[in-house]
Structure 1
Amino acid sequence: MSLYEKIVNRQQKISVIGLGYVGLPIAIAFARKALVIGFDVNTKKIGLYKSGIDPTGEVGSEAIKNTTVEFTAGERKLREARFHIIAVPTPVNKDHTPDLTALKSASCILGRNLARGSIVVYESTVYPGVTEEICLPILEKESGLKGGSDFKIAYSPERINPGDMNHRLENIVKIVSGMDHETLDTVARVYELVVKAGVYRAESIKVAEAAKVIENSQRDINIAFMNELSIIFNKMGIDTKAVLKAAGTKWNFLKFYPGLVGGHCIGVDPYYLTYKAEEMGYHSQIILAGRQINDHMPKYVAENVVKKMIKANKQIKGSKVAIFGVTFKENCPDVRNTKVVDIVKELEEYGIEVKIVDPVADQEDLWETYKISPRNAEEIVDMDAVIFAVPHEAFKSIKLKDIKKMFNHQDQYPRTMDESAAATQPGAGQGQNVYVLIDVKGMFDKKEAEDMNFLYWRL
């Protein structure tokens, strides 16, 4: 009986190593079809799962309560499985070089508990060559087994989009690859158990690794182009959103938008590709240029906040600014590599007091990583500027009239005639309070905001 048949007949188990935003949905999905061990070194996280709590928000607590996944932080439990999926984070270091610490650690842990006849599938985003040249030797060293004869390796890049309830594991085509044809066939059939959209069999592990890393690099470059356009149009006094709306009427115009590019994928993956390219003697031109633009955007946003506050005759040092949204993307609690924090740091360098509102963010991670404790919206009063950085669904009910109540309505620094003339946006008339609203992603109607005396700015 083949390994696939044993898995289907529940005579062999699947293990998922790394139960974060990627690993957890995989474990839950496979548990509907097979016996699954869910392993993570984070004992606190395992405790939450065992209590039926989903801190990621990816599958929901109800799914956790009803799943048959065996959650564990005990690595010896991995010895019971023969099909292993490793889905751990692959971030970058401060110098933008790949940080493979978690991947190497997971390989060591599994290697110590690897049995003959196993297949190990890596899902973490890496540059071409990591699975075979770095992970395989670790598995061999720790297990004392020989890859290719005693066990097999494969690669199937994750394509889950955190916070996206439409594009899920089940309905996204899954790329699969293996070290030989037999392994590829087994891996493909196992993933077909849960991926209704089907699988794509890549020619090799390196092809699959490369396919994954360019997916996000392509998106990063397109967003960088939009961000550069936003900078140019801002200097011209043209509304970028209006330009994109007009250009979008052409059938083949790619609908990308300017914004902050953070998180654990788009803001990270391009560096994996350029790192490997530089190892091979090629210095990236387009990819790194895009990265530089996107990494600059938090500073650009902060500078424009200050410019608008000066235009509204606000004293900068000691002023108060509220930021709504701190996660790296909307409707997702993940705060890893969020660029909103970079805006906070930039504003604080001006002596500005920043308050954060985000009911979606993982508050524990936010405090442990950035020492930020979010406030409730009701606590946001006497502000000198308000920034909407992340368009969470939870913010959609907030109206412009509600935002006005958050401001400091005392005109402590009356404008001179020259200063009043500077605040010439519609609605920002002489002798009136001006409300600085920075709408990074364009949640609100620009004309309505200006008519209500907001000094409004967006990317």
Structure 2
Amino acid sequence: MSLYERIVNREEKISLVGLGYVGMPIAVAFAKKVDVIGFDVSKKKIDSYKNGLDPTKEVGNEVIKKTTVEFTSDEARLREAKFHIVAVPTPVKNDHTPDLTPVESASRTLGRNLTKGSIVVFESTVYPGVTEEICVPILEKESGLKSGVDFKVGYSPERINPGDKVHRLETIVKVVSGMDEETLDTVAKVYELVVEAGVYKAESIKVAEAAKVIENSQRDINIAFMNELSIIFNKMGIDTKAVLEAAGTKWNFLKFTPGLVGGHCIGVDPYYLTYRAEQMGYHSQIILSGRKINDDMGKYVAESTLKQMIKANKQINGAKVAIFGVTFKENCPDVRNTKVVDVIRELEEYGIEVKVVDPVADKEDLWREYRINPYRVEEIKEVDAVIFAVPHDDFKSICLEDIKKMFRTTGYFNIEAMKETAVTSEFVEEDDKNNYVLIDIRGLFDRQDAETAGISYWRL
């Protein structure tokens, strides 16, 4: 009987190593069909899952309460499984070089508990060659087993889109690969148990690794182009969103939009590819140029905010600015590598007090990573500018009149005092209009509505 058949008959188990935004949904999906062990080194995370709580908000608390996944932080439990899926993060260091520490550590942990006849599939995004040249030797060293003889390896890049309730594991075609035809066949059959959209068999592990790393590199380059267009059009006094809507009427126009590019995928993966290219003697031109544009957008947004405040006669040093949304994308609690923090730090350099509002963000991670404590919407008062950085669904109920109530009532000048003098009412009303500065990075509000409401409005 094959390994696949033994898994289906619940004679063997699948293990998930790493239960974050990627690993946990995979574990839950497989648990509907087979026996699954969910392992993570974080006992705190495991305790949350055991208590029916989903800190990632990817599947929800009710699903976690009902799942049959055996959550554990005891690595010895991995010995009970024969099919292992490694889904740990692969970040970059401060110098933008790959940080393979998590995947190396996971390989060591798994290697210590690997048994003969096992298949190990890596899902972490890496540059071509990492699985076979770095992970396999670690597995062999820790287990004392021989790859290709005592155990097999494969690679199937994760394509889960955090916060996306439409494009899920089950609905996205899964790229799979294996070190040989037999392994490829088994890996494909196992994933077909849960992936309704089907699988695509890559011709080699390196091809699958390369396919994943270019997916996000392509998006990064296209968004960088949009960001550059936004910078150009803002200088011209042209609304970028209006331009894109007009251009988008052509059938083959690629509908990307400008924005802050952070997170653990698009803002990271291109550096894995360019790092490997450098090792091979080639210096990237297009990819790194796109990365530079996107990495600098936080500073650009902050500087644009300052310009709008100065135009509105705001005093910069000592001003208060509210930022709505700090996660790296909408409707997702993940704050890793969020570029909204770049905006915050730049504003703080000018002596501005920044108040962050984000009901979605993981508060513990936000404090641990950036020393930021979020405010509630009702606590935002007497500010000089408002920035909507992330278009969470939670913010869609906020209207323009609600925003105007968050501002200082007198702005830079004392309007009430001016009314008591010879200042004309027309001047007072104009100054009152200039009092409201709204920076709408992703275009959550309508420009004309904002300007009609007397708001100084700016967006990418």
Instruction: Compute the TM-score of the two structures, normalised by the length of structure 2.
Output: 0.96
SS at match of 1:52: coil
CA–CA separation in structure 1 for the residues paired with 2:159 and 2:123: 9
Instruction: Tell me the residue number matched to 1:368.
Output: 368
Letter in 1 for 2:67: T
Deviations 1:109-157 (A, max 9, x none): 0000000000000000000000000000000000000000000000000
Instruction: Tell me the residue number matched to 2:420.
Output: none
SS at match of 1:154: strand
Instruction: Tell me the residue number matched to 1:214.
Output: 214
SS at match of 2:46: helix
Q: Does 1:339 align with 2:339?
A: yes
- Preserved contact between residue 434 and residue 456 of structure 2 (Cα < 8 Å): no
Instruction: Tell me the residue number matched to 1:132.
Output: 132
1:428-443 matched pairs, under 5 angstroms:
429-430=430-431, 432-443=433-444
CA–CA separation in structure 1 for the residues paired with 2:429 and 2:199: 56
CA–CA separation in structure 1 for the residues paired with 2:151 and 2:116: 6
Deviations 1:315-368 (A, max 9, x none): 000000000000000000000000001110000000000000000001111111
- Preserved contact between residue 313 and residue 412 of structure 2 (Cα < 8 Å): no
CA–CA separation in structure 1 for the residues paired with 2:170 and 2:314: 51
Cα deviation for residue 410 of structure 1 reads 1.2
Deviations 1:6-59 (A, max 9, x none): 000000000000000000000000001100000000000000000000000001
Instruction: Tell me the residue number matched to 1:123.
Output: 123
CA–CA separation in structure 2 for the residues paired with 1:430 and 1:52: 53
CA–CA separation in structure 2 for the residues paired with 1:243 and 1:64: 44
Cα deviation for residue 431 of structure 1 reads 6.1
1:162-173 matched pairs, under 5 angstroms:
162-173=162-173
Letter in 1 for 2:75: E
Unaligned runs of 5+ in 2: 416-427
1:6-405 matched pairs, under 5 angstroms:
6-405=6-405
Cα deviation for residue 430 of structure 1 reads 5.0
C-alpha distance 187-272 of structure 1, shift in aligned 2 (>3 A): same
Deviations 1:195-227 (A, max 9, x none): 000000000000000000000000000000000
CA–CA separation in structure 2 for the residues paired with 1:75 and 1:104: 15
CA–CA separation in structure 2 for the residues paired with 1:377 and 1:314: 22
CA–CA separation in structure 1 for the residues paired with 2:123 and 2:433: 57
Seq. identity, %: 76
- Preserved contact between residue 37 and residue 71 of structure 2 (Cα < 8 Å): yes
Instruction: Tell me the residue number matched to 1:418.
Output: none
Deviations 1:365-401 (A, max 9, x none): 1111111010000000000000000000000010000
CA–CA separation in structure 1 for the residues paired with 2:244 and 2:269: 26
SS at match of 1:429: helix
Cα deviation for residue 451 of structure 1 reads 1.1
- Preserved contact between residue 412 and residue 435 of structure 2 (Cα < 8 Å): no
Letter in 2 for 1:141: K
RMSD value, Cα: 1.1
- Preserved contact between residue 450 and residue 456 of structure 1 (Cα < 8 Å): yes
- Preserved contact between residue 170 and residue 197 of structure 1 (Cα < 8 Å): yes
Letter in 2 for 1:22: V
CA–CA separation in structure 1 for the residues paired with 2:342 and 2:276: 27
Deviations 1:251-295 (A, max 9, x none): 000000000000000000000000000000000000000000000
**Structure 1: 4+ residue segments shifted above 6 A:** none
Cα deviation for residue 429 of structure 1 reads 3.0
SS at match of 1:127: coil
CA–CA separation in structure 1 for the residues paired with 2:67 and 2:6: 20
C-alpha distance 282-262 of structure 1, shift in aligned 2 (>3 A): same
CA–CA separation in structure 2 for the residues paired with 1:412 and 1:221: 41
- Preserved contact between residue 428 and residue 455 of structure 1 (Cα < 8 Å): no
Instruction: Compute the TM-score of the two structures, normalised by the length of structure 1.
Output: 0.97
Deviations 1:141-178 (A, max 9, x none): 00000000000000000000000000000000000000
- Preserved contact between residue 121 and residue 153 of structure 2 (Cα < 8 Å): yes
CA–CA separation in structure 2 for the residues paired with 1:431 and 1:12: 70
Instruction: Tell me the residue number matched to 2:424.
Output: none
CA–CA separation in structure 2 for the residues paired with 1:339 and 1:428: 36
Instruction: Tell me the residue number matched to 2:452.
Output: 451
Paired residues in the alignment total: 448
